[in-house]
Structure 1
Protein backbone atom coordinates (compact mmCIF):
# COMPACT_ATOMS: atom_id res chain seq x y z
CA UNK A 1 0.00 0.00 0.00
CA UNK A 2 2.96 2.34 0.65
CA UNK A 3 4.06 2.18 -3.00
CA UNK A 4 0.53 2.76 -4.28
CA UNK A 5 -0.06 5.70 -1.93
CA UNK A 6 3.29 7.29 -2.82
CA UNK A 7 2.73 7.01 -6.58
CA UNK A 8 -0.86 8.29 -6.28
CA UNK A 9 0.12 11.30 -4.17
CA UNK A 10 3.08 12.01 -6.43
CA UNK A 11 0.77 12.14 -9.46
CA UNK A 12 -1.87 14.20 -7.65
CA UNK A 13 0.59 16.79 -6.33
CA UNK A 14 2.32 17.00 -9.72
CA UNK A 15 -0.98 17.80 -11.40
CA UNK A 16 -1.83 20.43 -8.77
CA UNK A 17 1.58 21.93 -8.13
CA UNK A 18 4.15 20.64 -10.60
CA UNK A 19 7.03 18.25 -10.17
CA UNK A 20 8.83 17.96 -6.82
CA UNK A 21 12.46 19.04 -7.00
CA UNK A 22 14.87 16.77 -5.13
CA UNK A 23 18.40 18.04 -4.45
CA UNK A 24 21.37 15.76 -3.64
CA UNK A 25 19.52 12.43 -3.82
CA UNK A 26 22.73 10.87 -5.15
CA UNK A 27 24.39 11.27 -1.72
CA UNK A 28 22.03 8.84 0.01
CA UNK A 29 23.75 5.72 1.40
CA UNK A 30 23.43 2.74 -0.93
CA UNK A 31 22.20 -0.62 0.32
CA UNK A 32 22.49 0.31 3.98
CA UNK A 33 20.03 1.59 6.57
CA UNK A 34 19.93 5.17 7.76
CA UNK A 35 17.76 7.64 9.66
CA UNK A 36 16.41 10.64 7.76
CA UNK A 37 15.47 13.67 9.86
CA UNK A 38 13.44 16.39 8.19
CA UNK A 39 11.96 19.78 8.99
CA UNK A 40 8.22 19.57 9.57
CA UNK A 41 5.28 22.00 9.54
CA UNK A 42 2.43 20.12 7.84
CA UNK A 43 1.40 16.83 6.21
CA UNK A 44 2.77 18.10 2.89
CA UNK A 45 6.43 17.83 3.94
CA UNK A 46 5.85 14.25 5.15
CA UNK A 47 4.38 13.28 1.78
CA UNK A 48 7.11 15.09 -0.14
CA UNK A 49 9.88 13.35 1.80
CA UNK A 50 8.31 9.99 0.94
CA UNK A 51 8.13 10.98 -2.73
CA UNK A 52 11.70 12.32 -2.68
CA UNK A 53 13.21 9.05 -1.45
CA UNK A 54 10.97 6.78 -3.56
CA UNK A 55 11.43 3.91 -4.41
CA UNK A 56 13.15 3.63 -1.02
CA UNK A 57 10.34 3.16 1.54
CA UNK A 58 10.50 5.18 4.76
CA UNK A 59 9.19 3.94 8.10
CA UNK A 60 7.87 7.08 9.75
CA UNK A 61 7.83 7.80 13.47
CA UNK A 62 4.45 9.40 14.29
CA UNK A 63 2.85 10.70 17.47
CA UNK A 64 0.79 8.05 19.24
CA UNK A 65 -2.34 10.24 19.30
CA UNK A 66 -2.76 9.59 15.57
CA UNK A 67 -3.22 5.89 16.32
CA UNK A 68 -6.21 6.33 18.68
CA UNK A 69 -8.86 5.48 16.06
CA UNK A 70 -8.77 1.97 14.63
CA UNK A 71 -9.29 2.93 10.98
CA UNK A 72 -6.55 5.57 11.06
CA UNK A 73 -4.31 3.21 13.04
CA UNK A 74 -4.54 0.43 10.45
CA UNK A 75 -4.05 2.92 7.62
CA UNK A 76 -0.93 4.41 9.22
CA UNK A 77 0.53 0.96 9.85
CA UNK A 78 0.00 0.05 6.18
CA UNK A 79 1.79 3.30 5.29
CA UNK A 80 4.83 2.23 7.35
CA UNK A 81 4.18 4.55 10.30
CA UNK A 82 4.76 3.53 13.92
CA UNK A 83 3.66 5.31 17.12
CA UNK A 84 5.80 7.15 19.66
CA UNK A 85 4.87 9.02 22.82
CA UNK A 86 6.39 12.45 22.13
CA UNK A 87 5.40 13.92 25.48
CA UNK A 88 7.04 11.12 27.47
CA UNK A 89 9.67 9.37 25.36
CA UNK A 90 11.26 6.43 27.16
CA UNK A 91 13.47 3.41 26.37
CA UNK A 92 10.59 1.69 24.55
CA UNK A 93 10.73 4.45 21.90
CA UNK A 94 14.01 2.96 20.66
CA UNK A 95 12.72 -0.60 20.25
CA UNK A 96 10.79 -0.35 16.96
CA UNK A 97 13.26 1.85 15.03
CA UNK A 98 16.19 -0.31 16.16
CA UNK A 99 14.38 -3.42 14.91
CA UNK A 100 13.66 -1.72 11.58
CA UNK A 101 17.25 -0.57 11.12
CA UNK A 102 18.51 -4.07 11.95
CA UNK A 103 16.38 -5.27 9.03
CA UNK A 104 18.10 -2.62 6.86
CA UNK A 105 15.01 -0.41 6.69
CA UNK A 106 14.98 3.41 6.57
CA UNK A 107 13.53 5.31 9.54
CA UNK A 108 12.07 8.81 9.17
CA UNK A 109 11.89 11.22 12.11
CA UNK A 110 10.51 14.78 12.06
CA UNK A 111 12.18 16.48 15.04
CA UNK A 112 10.72 19.95 14.43
CA UNK A 113 7.90 19.60 16.91
CA UNK A 114 5.40 22.21 18.00
CA UNK A 115 7.31 22.77 21.24
CA UNK A 116 11.04 23.34 21.69
CA UNK A 117 11.19 20.60 24.36
CA UNK A 118 9.52 18.16 21.95
CA UNK A 119 11.96 19.11 19.18
CA UNK A 120 14.96 18.47 21.43
CA UNK A 121 13.56 15.14 22.66
CA UNK A 122 12.96 13.93 19.11
CA UNK A 123 16.40 15.02 17.93
CA UNK A 124 17.95 13.28 20.95
CA UNK A 125 15.94 10.16 20.09
CA UNK A 126 17.30 10.12 16.54
CA UNK A 127 20.83 10.54 17.90
CA UNK A 128 20.53 7.68 20.40
CA UNK A 129 18.94 5.40 17.80
CA UNK A 130 21.69 6.18 15.28
CA UNK A 131 24.37 5.56 17.91
CA UNK A 132 22.97 2.20 18.98
CA UNK A 133 22.28 1.01 15.44
CA UNK A 134 25.57 2.37 14.02
CA UNK A 135 23.77 4.08 11.15
CA UNK A 136 24.16 7.61 9.77
CA UNK A 137 21.64 10.43 10.07
CA UNK A 138 20.68 12.14 6.81
CA UNK A 139 19.36 15.71 7.31
CA UNK A 140 16.62 16.88 4.95
CA UNK A 141 14.88 20.21 4.53
CA UNK A 142 11.52 20.81 2.89
CA UNK A 143 10.99 24.19 1.22
CA UNK A 144 7.59 24.95 -0.27
CA UNK A 145 3.88 25.32 0.42
CA UNK A 146 2.35 24.10 3.66
CA UNK A 147 -1.31 24.66 2.83
CA UNK A 148 -3.71 23.62 0.07
CA UNK A 149 -4.05 27.29 -0.90
CA UNK A 150 -0.29 27.61 -1.43
CA UNK A 151 -0.21 24.32 -3.34
CA UNK A 152 -2.83 25.65 -5.72
CA UNK A 153 -0.75 28.81 -6.07
CA UNK A 154 1.96 26.65 -7.68
CA UNK A 155 4.61 27.57 -5.12
CA UNK A 156 7.43 25.13 -5.85
CA UNK A 157 8.12 22.14 -3.61
CA UNK A 158 11.73 21.15 -2.90
CA UNK A 159 13.41 18.53 -0.72
CA UNK A 160 17.11 19.18 -0.07
CA UNK A 161 19.21 16.33 1.33
CA UNK A 162 22.41 16.90 3.29
CA UNK A 163 25.59 14.96 3.92
CA UNK A 164 25.46 12.02 6.32
CA UNK A 165 26.03 12.80 10.00
CA UNK A 166 27.88 9.99 11.74
CA UNK A 167 27.11 9.50 15.42
CA UNK A 168 29.73 7.86 17.66
CA UNK A 169 28.90 5.13 20.13
CA UNK A 170 27.67 6.94 23.21
CA UNK A 171 29.09 5.53 26.43
CA UNK A 172 30.51 8.43 28.43
CA UNK A 173 29.48 12.08 28.49
CA UNK A 174 26.09 11.27 26.96
CA UNK A 175 24.78 14.80 27.39
CA UNK A 176 27.86 16.38 25.82
CA UNK A 177 27.84 14.07 22.80
CA UNK A 178 24.09 14.44 22.32
CA UNK A 179 24.31 18.23 22.56
CA UNK A 180 27.14 18.32 20.02
CA UNK A 181 25.28 16.19 17.45
CA UNK A 182 22.10 18.17 18.12
CA UNK A 183 23.95 21.33 17.09
CA UNK A 184 25.30 19.58 13.99
CA UNK A 185 21.77 18.60 12.93
CA UNK A 186 20.42 22.11 13.58
CA UNK A 187 23.27 23.67 11.61
CA UNK A 188 22.68 21.22 8.75
CA UNK A 189 19.02 22.30 8.60
CA UNK A 190 20.02 25.97 8.52
CA UNK A 191 22.76 25.45 5.92
CA UNK A 192 20.43 23.50 3.63
CA UNK A 193 17.82 26.28 3.85
CA UNK A 194 20.50 28.85 2.97
CA UNK A 195 21.65 26.71 0.03
CA UNK A 196 18.09 26.82 -1.30
CA UNK A 197 18.09 30.62 -1.16
Structure 2
Protein backbone atom coordinates (compact mmCIF):
# COMPACT_ATOMS: atom_id res chain seq x y z
CA UNK A 1 0.00 0.00 0.00
CA UNK A 2 2.88 2.40 0.77
CA UNK A 3 4.19 1.98 -2.77
CA UNK A 4 0.75 2.70 -4.26
CA UNK A 5 0.22 5.80 -2.10
CA UNK A 6 3.71 7.11 -2.86
CA UNK A 7 3.30 6.60 -6.59
CA UNK A 8 -0.03 8.43 -6.43
CA UNK A 9 1.54 11.31 -4.48
CA UNK A 10 4.49 11.43 -6.89
CA UNK A 11 2.19 11.64 -9.90
CA UNK A 12 -0.03 14.20 -8.17
CA UNK A 13 2.84 16.48 -7.20
CA UNK A 14 4.49 15.93 -10.59
CA UNK A 15 1.41 17.23 -12.37
CA UNK A 16 1.65 20.57 -10.61
CA UNK A 17 5.19 21.07 -9.33
CA UNK A 18 7.19 18.49 -7.41
CA UNK A 19 9.75 20.04 -5.06
CA UNK A 20 13.25 20.62 -6.37
CA UNK A 21 15.73 18.77 -4.15
CA UNK A 22 19.23 20.01 -3.31
CA UNK A 23 22.12 18.03 -1.79
CA UNK A 24 20.42 14.65 -1.95
CA UNK A 25 23.91 13.12 -1.87
CA UNK A 26 23.85 13.85 1.89
CA UNK A 27 21.16 11.19 2.38
CA UNK A 28 22.64 7.78 3.34
CA UNK A 29 21.95 4.94 0.93
CA UNK A 30 21.81 2.27 3.63
CA UNK A 31 21.22 1.77 7.34
CA UNK A 32 18.80 3.47 9.69
CA UNK A 33 18.86 7.20 10.35
CA UNK A 34 16.80 10.24 11.35
CA UNK A 35 15.64 13.09 9.16
CA UNK A 36 14.85 16.32 11.04
CA UNK A 37 13.07 18.77 8.75
CA UNK A 38 11.51 22.20 9.14
CA UNK A 39 7.72 22.04 9.07
CA UNK A 40 5.19 24.60 7.85
CA UNK A 41 2.32 22.45 6.57
CA UNK A 42 1.38 18.97 5.43
CA UNK A 43 2.60 19.29 1.83
CA UNK A 44 6.21 19.26 3.05
CA UNK A 45 5.55 15.78 4.45
CA UNK A 46 4.57 14.55 0.99
CA UNK A 47 7.55 16.16 -0.73
CA UNK A 48 9.96 14.81 1.87
CA UNK A 49 8.59 11.29 1.49
CA UNK A 50 8.71 11.42 -2.30
CA UNK A 51 12.27 12.79 -2.28
CA UNK A 52 13.86 9.51 -1.09
CA UNK A 53 11.30 7.06 -2.51
CA UNK A 54 11.36 4.02 -2.65
CA UNK A 55 12.96 4.17 0.82
CA UNK A 56 10.04 4.79 3.20
CA UNK A 57 10.10 7.41 5.96
CA UNK A 58 8.34 6.55 9.21
CA UNK A 59 7.05 9.92 10.36
CA UNK A 60 6.49 10.78 14.01
CA UNK A 61 3.08 12.49 14.03
CA UNK A 62 1.02 13.97 16.86
CA UNK A 63 -1.64 11.51 17.95
CA UNK A 64 -4.51 13.97 17.32
CA UNK A 65 -4.02 13.54 13.57
CA UNK A 66 -5.02 9.89 13.90
CA UNK A 67 -8.37 10.90 15.43
CA UNK A 68 -9.57 11.93 11.96
CA UNK A 69 -10.65 8.71 10.28
CA UNK A 70 -9.63 9.47 6.69
CA UNK A 71 -6.48 11.39 7.58
CA UNK A 72 -5.49 8.78 10.13
CA UNK A 73 -5.88 6.03 7.52
CA UNK A 74 -3.87 7.99 4.96
CA UNK A 75 -0.91 8.85 7.18
CA UNK A 76 -0.86 5.31 8.59
CA UNK A 77 -0.45 4.04 5.02
CA UNK A 78 2.43 6.52 4.73
CA UNK A 79 3.99 4.67 7.69
CA UNK A 80 3.45 7.47 10.22
CA UNK A 81 3.11 6.52 13.89
CA UNK A 82 1.42 8.50 16.69
CA UNK A 83 3.24 10.39 19.44
CA UNK A 84 1.61 12.06 22.43
CA UNK A 85 3.51 15.35 22.70
CA UNK A 86 1.67 16.49 25.82
CA UNK A 87 2.26 13.26 27.75
CA UNK A 88 5.19 11.52 26.07
CA UNK A 89 5.68 7.92 27.14
CA UNK A 90 8.35 5.29 26.47
CA UNK A 91 7.04 4.74 22.92
CA UNK A 92 8.38 8.18 21.93
CA UNK A 93 11.84 6.62 22.01
CA UNK A 94 11.13 2.88 21.76
CA UNK A 95 9.28 2.89 18.44
CA UNK A 96 11.81 4.99 16.48
CA UNK A 97 14.73 3.12 18.11
CA UNK A 98 13.28 -0.19 16.92
CA UNK A 99 12.76 1.17 13.40
CA UNK A 100 16.31 2.52 13.19
CA UNK A 101 17.76 -0.79 14.41
CA UNK A 102 15.86 -2.45 11.57
CA UNK A 103 17.50 -0.10 9.08
CA UNK A 104 14.50 2.17 8.62
CA UNK A 105 14.28 5.96 8.31
CA UNK A 106 12.48 8.00 10.98
CA UNK A 107 11.21 11.48 10.13
CA UNK A 108 10.61 14.18 12.72
CA UNK A 109 9.47 17.77 12.23
CA UNK A 110 10.95 19.96 14.97
CA UNK A 111 9.39 23.42 15.15
CA UNK A 112 11.48 26.16 13.57
CA UNK A 113 10.84 28.43 16.54
CA UNK A 114 12.33 28.42 20.02
CA UNK A 115 9.05 27.71 21.78
CA UNK A 116 8.69 24.95 24.37
CA UNK A 117 7.24 22.38 21.96
CA UNK A 118 9.93 23.04 19.37
CA UNK A 119 12.69 22.58 21.93
CA UNK A 120 11.04 19.38 23.16
CA UNK A 121 10.83 17.97 19.64
CA UNK A 122 14.46 18.81 18.88
CA UNK A 123 15.55 17.20 22.14
CA UNK A 124 13.50 14.14 21.19
CA UNK A 125 15.36 13.83 17.90
CA UNK A 126 18.70 14.28 19.64
CA UNK A 127 17.81 11.72 22.34
CA UNK A 128 16.88 9.12 19.72
CA UNK A 129 20.10 9.77 17.80
CA UNK A 130 22.14 9.67 21.00
CA UNK A 131 20.74 6.32 22.11
CA UNK A 132 20.64 4.68 18.68
CA UNK A 133 24.02 6.08 17.57
CA UNK A 134 22.34 6.78 14.23
CA UNK A 135 23.03 9.89 12.16
CA UNK A 136 20.65 12.84 11.88
CA UNK A 137 20.17 14.42 8.48
CA UNK A 138 18.83 17.98 8.87
CA UNK A 139 16.58 19.30 6.10
CA UNK A 140 14.66 22.44 5.22
CA UNK A 141 11.61 22.95 3.01
CA UNK A 142 10.15 26.06 1.40
CA UNK A 143 7.11 25.86 -0.82
CA UNK A 144 3.38 25.18 -0.99
CA UNK A 145 1.67 24.19 2.25
CA UNK A 146 -1.90 23.75 1.04
CA UNK A 147 -3.68 22.12 -1.88
CA UNK A 148 -4.65 25.58 -3.11
CA UNK A 149 -0.98 26.53 -3.37
CA UNK A 150 -0.16 23.21 -5.08
CA UNK A 151 -2.90 23.75 -7.66
CA UNK A 152 -1.59 27.30 -8.18
CA UNK A 153 1.74 25.65 -9.11
CA UNK A 154 3.69 27.36 -6.34
CA UNK A 155 7.21 25.97 -6.50
CA UNK A 156 8.58 23.78 -3.73
CA UNK A 157 12.20 23.41 -2.64
CA UNK A 158 13.90 20.94 -0.30
CA UNK A 159 17.50 20.89 0.87
CA UNK A 160 19.41 18.25 2.85
CA UNK A 161 22.28 19.09 5.19
CA UNK A 162 25.26 16.95 6.07
CA UNK A 163 24.62 14.02 8.43
CA UNK A 164 25.91 14.37 11.97
CA UNK A 165 26.15 12.08 15.01
CA UNK A 166 25.37 12.94 18.61
CA UNK A 167 28.77 12.20 20.11
CA UNK A 168 28.27 13.83 23.52
CA UNK A 169 26.67 11.95 26.41
CA UNK A 170 24.10 12.81 29.04
CA UNK A 171 21.80 15.79 29.45
CA UNK A 172 24.49 18.37 28.72
CA UNK A 173 25.31 16.52 25.50
CA UNK A 174 21.66 16.56 24.44
CA UNK A 175 21.43 20.28 25.15
CA UNK A 176 24.60 20.96 23.16
CA UNK A 177 23.38 19.05 20.12
CA UNK A 178 19.86 20.44 20.40
CA UNK A 179 21.33 23.89 19.86
CA UNK A 180 23.47 22.51 17.05
CA UNK A 181 20.38 21.09 15.31
CA UNK A 182 18.60 24.43 15.68
CA UNK A 183 21.54 26.18 14.04
CA UNK A 184 21.66 23.64 11.21
CA UNK A 185 17.97 24.07 10.41
CA UNK A 186 18.27 27.87 10.38
CA UNK A 187 21.38 27.72 8.18
CA UNK A 188 19.76 25.30 5.73
CA UNK A 189 16.70 27.50 5.39
CA UNK A 190 18.93 30.51 4.68
CA UNK A 191 20.87 28.51 2.08
CA UNK A 192 17.65 27.41 0.45
CA UNK A 193 16.33 30.98 0.35
CA UNK A 194 19.56 32.04 -1.34
CA UNK A 195 19.28 29.29 -3.95
CA UNK A 196 15.66 30.27 -4.65
CA UNK A 197 16.69 33.92 -5.09
CA UNK A 198 19.48 32.96 -7.49
CA UNK A 199 17.09 30.80 -9.49
CA UNK A 200 14.71 33.73 -9.93
CA UNK A 201 17.44 36.04 -11.30
Give TM-score, length-normalised by structure 2: 0.88
Distance 1:152 1:76 in 2: 21
Distance 1:169 1:182 in 2: 11
- Alpha-carbon contact 2:58-2:104 (below 8 Å) kept: yes
1:14 counterpart = 2:10: no
Name which of 176, 183, 189 aligns with 1:187: 183
Query: What is the DSSP-based 3-state SS (H/G/I as helix, E as strand, rest coil) of the residue aligned with 2:140?
Result: strand
1:125 counterpart = 2:121: no
Distance 2:75 2:114 in 1: 23
- Alpha-carbon contact 2:161-2:184 (below 8 Å) kept: yes
Gap change, CA 1:85 and 1:30, over 3 Å in 2: same
Shift of residue 118 of structure 1? 1.1
Distance 1:95 1:44 in 2: 27
Shift of residue 19 of structure 1? 3.4
Shift of residue 195 of structure 1? 1.4
Query: What is the DSSP-based 3-state SS (H/G/I as helix, E as strand, rest coil) of the residue aligned with 1:104?
Result: coil
Gap change, CA 1:59 and 1:20, over 3 Å in 2: same
Query: What is the DSSP-based 3-state SS (H/G/I as helix, E as strand, rest coil) of the residue aligned with 1:138?
Result: strand
Q: Deviations over 1:134-156 (max 9, x none)?
A: 10100010111222332233221
Distance 1:20 1:114 in 2: 23
Comparing 68-77 with 138-147, greater Cα deviation is found at: 68-77
Mapping 1:27-176, distance limit 5 Å: 27-69=26-68, 72-112=71-111, 116-168=115-167, 170-171=169-170, 174=171, 176=172
Give TM-score, length-normalised by structure 1: 0.90
Query: What is the DSSP-based 3-state SS (H/G/I as helix, E as strand, rest coil) of the residue aligned with 2:120?
Result: helix
Distance 1:67 1:41 in 2: 19
Gap change, CA 1:169 and 1:180, over 3 Å in 2: closer
Partner of 1:3: 3
- Alpha-carbon contact 2:112-2:185 (below 8 Å) kept: no
- Alpha-carbon contact 1:89-1:121 (below 8 Å) kept: no
Shift of residue 177 of structure 1? 1.5
Distance 2:77 2:155 in 1: 29
